Amino acid sequence: MRVVLADLKGTGGLVAKDTVAGGYGSRLVPFSKVSHVVRFLKRRYINLPSVQMAYLAAICDAAGHEVVFTRHRLLDGDVALVLSSLVDHRHETAWADRMRARGVRVGFVGLTASKMPELFADHADFVVRGEPEEAVTRLAGGETLKGICDSAPTMDLDSLPFPRWDLLRVHRGGGFRFFVRPAGGGFPLLSSRGCPEFCTYCPHRILAEYRARSIKNIVDEIEALCHAYRRPYLIFRDPLFTQSRDRVLAFCDEILARHLRVRFDIETRLDRLDRDLLDRAYVAGLRAISYGVESVSPEALKRVGRRPVPEAHHREVIQHCRTLGIVTAAFYVIGFPTDNWQSVAATIDFAIEMNSAFAQFKLLTPYPGTPLFKQLKARIYETDWQKFDGFTPTFTHPNLTARELMFLLGAAYTRFYMRPSCLANVLKIQNTRVRSWAKRMDQRAAAFCSRAETEKMSRSVTC
């Protein structure tokens, strides 16, 4: 059997799928000068290949089937498996229709297909609901899948074969590094699935429960990558990589014991980090950390089930990362139901004060299947699912208009990135005189932003 795996290149902006927003995906259409630069950098350093497709490639190849991969082309085959997303589903279903017209059976996989199969059912021979490995194993074994096919989650993640990047034509090793990651990105890894936290807005926890791989299995995969590629850069896509401190220490010890020369980055919570853990992880190869802050408002976080991190700990971790040379990237959300102009301005000021190397700002989006979606359902006015992209207002906010939300989102990016201190962080400048000069120049940049904001909206975002 010839199996076509399709992770289609998104349309209408910079589209990211797979593990982004749990699999619903995101789309960044630049809305300001700074967001044009952000899109440029994301396209070259953060646009990752699909780890889900790499797992399915391994399963089908192990069963003796021919595996071919496409980002856009129509290919001949017996069956095609299409990675679904919310933000690009019309493009995906149109491609599926053309493949079926060529006589190829088509199935959809992924979070969006699982939670919203009605978007794909009329354009497919089957839609896999759930983590797809179990159903695709049945398909590879000769079963003909039809209609809505339930797929049980893999509880023993060690039983899965390692992702086959060669079958997806991904060959990333070494490469020019400027922002820690090499140009083109790196290899995404999953050391666990699901998320043990209870944030009501997060789609990472709505498909299956939290499970983790053994340390030996993870490092075996890394060792295989090291043998196949020159100094691969690894990007762990777990929402909470440091869930267990002892597990992370054991991971670092195993990397060092095998003398593996790798660099990697992780996503986690800052309250799951400390100086000793960071020191050990840095020696093992940790070079970047992404973490969620979301909002500076304790009330906003409490209402969405997220535990705030004490400000003192936040400062300590960021400063120690800067001392070690670990790049930090903070995530913020604008538009929680309790937000108003002042609270959003306070969050932007907090982001600037904490001074992480990078920051990502998004609008609160009520994704289908999350508790937040049920809570805000009566307020959701957007009927185009593709606009649930993280950068578009989708519901009537109690305190802010859609225009104000977009203005505040643009102001967040401008105020954060239009600072000499931000450039100093990116370049990892430690010289105290240079950083002191940059801090002084930040004040001029803030004054410029304030004048521009007042001219546009008759008010600025400063508290």
**Number of domains within the chain:** 2
Q: Is residue 83 part of a domain?
A: yes
**427 in a structural domain:** no
Q: Convert the pLDDT of each residue in 381-413 to its tens digit.
A: 999 999 999 999 999 999 999 999 999 999 999
Measured CA to CA, the distance from residue 433 to residue 46 in angstroms comes to 32
pLDDT digits (tens, 9 = 90+) for 339-357: 999 999 999 999 999 999 9
pLDDT, mean of residues 288-299: 95
Entry field: residues in the chain: 463
The predicted structure's pLDDT at residue 89: 98
Do 319 and 407 belong together in one domain?
yes
The mean per-residue pLDDT over the stretch 145-174 comes to: 92
Cβ proximity of 328 and 288 under 8 Å: yes
Q: Which residue has the tokens 């797992």?
A: 55
Q: List Cα–Cα distances, 50 to 113, 202, 376, 442, in angstroms.
A: 16, 20, 31, 39
pLDDT for the residue numbered 108: 98
Q: What is the pLDDT of residue 22?
A: 95
Q: Are residues 141 and 182 in the same domain?
A: no
Q: Supply the CATH number for residue 399's domain.
A: 3.20.20.70
Claim to verify: residue 278 and residue 341 sit in the same structural domain: yes
Residues 287 and 321 in one domain: yes
Q: Are the beta carbons of 109 and 47 closer than 8 angstroms?
A: no
370: in domain: yes
Judgement on whether residues 227 and 110 belong to the same structural domain of the protein: no
The last residue of a domain, from among 93, 117, 150: 150
Same domain (yes/no): 364, 255: yes
Q: Which domain holds residue 326?
A: 171-413
Query: Residues 209-251: pLDDT tens digits?
Result: 999 999 999 999 999 999 999 889 999 999 999 999 999 999 9
Which DSSP state fits 158? Answer: G
pLDDT band at 175 (very low <50, low <70, confident <90, very high): low
pLDDT of 448 reads 78
In a shared domain, residues 181 and 74? no
- Tell me if 51 sits within 8 A of 213, measured CB to CB: no
| Average pLDDT of the chain, as a whole number | 93
| Domain membership flag for residue 287 | yes
Nearest to 81 by CA among 155, 36, 140: 140
Torsions phi, psi for 432 (to 5 deg): -65, -35
Chain centroid offset of residue 371 CA = 20
The answer to whether residue 80 is domain-embedded is yes
The reply to whether 177 and 316 lie within a common domain is yes
Q: Are residues 118 and 234 in the same domain?
A: no
Domain CATH for 6:
3.40.50.280
Residue 435 covered by a domain: no
Same domain, 68 and 104: yes
Same domain? For 185 and 327 the reply is yes
CB 336 within 8 A of CB 300: yes
Q: Does some domain include residue 459?
A: no
Domain boundary among 391, 413, 435: 413
Residues 189 and 87 in one domain: no
Establish if 162 belongs to a structural domain: no
Position 300 scores a pLDDT of 95
Place of tokens 């993640």: 157
